[in-house]
Structure 1
Amino acid sequence: MDVGYRGPTACAAAGITYRQLDYWARTGLVAPSVRQEGGRGGPPLYSVRDILILKVVKRLIDTGISLQQIRNAVEHLQCRDTADIAQITLMSDGISVYECTTPDEVVELLQGGQGVFGIALGRVWREVEGRLRDLPGEHLPQPADAHPGDELARRRRERRIG
């Protein structure tokens, strides 16, 4: 991860207010993962994945899903590999949230009367990435061992720090 996004940029990309972002971070619903609140080196920074989850939370809230169900969905998404997230469709009946990874699972939920609406995370991911292209991000400094062959650069950094 070499780019992070400040709160206002995360808000613009996810379509939420700064107040929502702050509340969700304070309550642990979606916290910045690139650089935590109060972390050394500057303000908290959100990853593209964090912003995707913020946008999904906003969509679930807008449809009337309970905060407990949203928390369950967020916890589940945060355990998934980034590559897997784009393959997921979240379906809901207005009460519960279901994860579908194949078209057959979506059809099965719809036939069972459980699916009222769905959120295709791959599409949301593309929306977020498209929006972030026009918004400022912060490039993070690489750790000292990022270029192990660059001994001279490492020594200069140590001299400036020490």
Structure 2
Amino acid sequence: MPRGGPRDEAVPGTPTPAADEVGYRGPTACAAAGITYRQLDYWARTALVEPSIRPAHGSGTQRLYSFRDILVLKIVKRLLDTGVGLQNIRVAVAHLRGRGVADLAGMTLMSDGASVYECTSYDEVVDLVQGGQGVFGIAVGAVWREVEASLGTLQGERTDTGETLFRHHPGDELARRRRERAG
């Protein structure tokens, strides 16, 4: 997948990554990514997007997805919805797996419906659009914020203890009331 210049430093004003010690079960990943459980299961079985925290091993085990996994799931869904072929999506996913966190937050994925391109600057986006063919873009930082907002109302679990966690944003009155009732 073509890419712009290197981006090794943190990008000011971009979303911060979710804590590494929090994982999300399949139904939560589906809700946050806007996909069905059937899609999630198929993508895991075909190695399109596998859970990085805990894969399923046999009957009854629960997959556990990281924040980054869910971000990639949502991007895959958007690419599929716009008609990008599965082979090109696999290339894009492999590329996303190899990128740093700051890279993900600052990139825009552009597609002409056939290929997927990484753009890390305004000039790269303009160059691609000026090529004369129709393109669409996915600002990964915006998708990141959408996933964060979705997960803010859903439960995760600690990867070290298995303890259920309810993530919430400060000032989230409904989440505060749920915690009070639960505990």
For 1:109, the equivalent position in structure 2 comes to 128
SS state of the match for residue 89, structure 2?
Answer: helix
Deviation of 1:114 (Å): 4.6
Q: Give the number of the structure whose residues are more often helix, by fraction.
A: 1
Tell me which of 50, 53, 59 is aligned to 2:69. Answer: 50
Residue 51 of structure 2 is aligned to residue 32 of structure 1: yes
Q: Cα RMSD over matched residues?
A: 1.3
Instruction: Tell me which moved more, 114-123 or 62-71.
Output: 114-123
Alignment: residue pair count: 140
Q: How big is each residue's C-alpha offset from its partner over 1:87-130, in whole Å with a ceiling of 9 and x where there is no partner?
A: 11000111111110111100000011255110000000000001
| Structure-1-length-normalised TM-score | 0.83
Deviation of 1:37 (Å): 1.6
For 2:35, the equivalent position in structure 1 comes to 16
Question: Structure 1: how far apart are the matches of 2:76 and 2:147?
Answer: 13
Q: How big is each residue's C-alpha offset from its partner over 1:40-95, in whole Å with a ceiling of 9 and x where there is no partner?
A: xx521001100000000000000010000000000000000122101110001111
- The amino acid that maps onto 2:143 is V
Where do 5+ consecutive residues of structure 2 fail to align? Answer: 1-19, 162-183
For 1:85, the equivalent position in structure 2 comes to 104
Question: Structure 2: how far apart are the matches of 1:4 and 1:113?
Answer: 43
Question: Structure 2: how far apart are the matches of 1:58 and 1:92?
Answer: 14
Question: Structure 2: how far apart are the matches of 1:47 and 1:27?
Answer: 18
Question: Structure 2: how far apart are the matches of 1:114 and 1:85?
Answer: 25
Relative to structure 1, the CA distance from residue 84 to residue 65 in structure 2 (aligned partners, 3 Å threshold; closer, same or farther) is: same
| Structure-2-length-normalised TM-score | 0.74
- Which structure is larger by alpha-carbon Rg, 1 or 2? 1
Cα contact 1:7–1:44 (8 A) shared by 2: yes
- Kindly report structure 1 stretches of 4+ aligned residues shifted beyond 2 Å: none
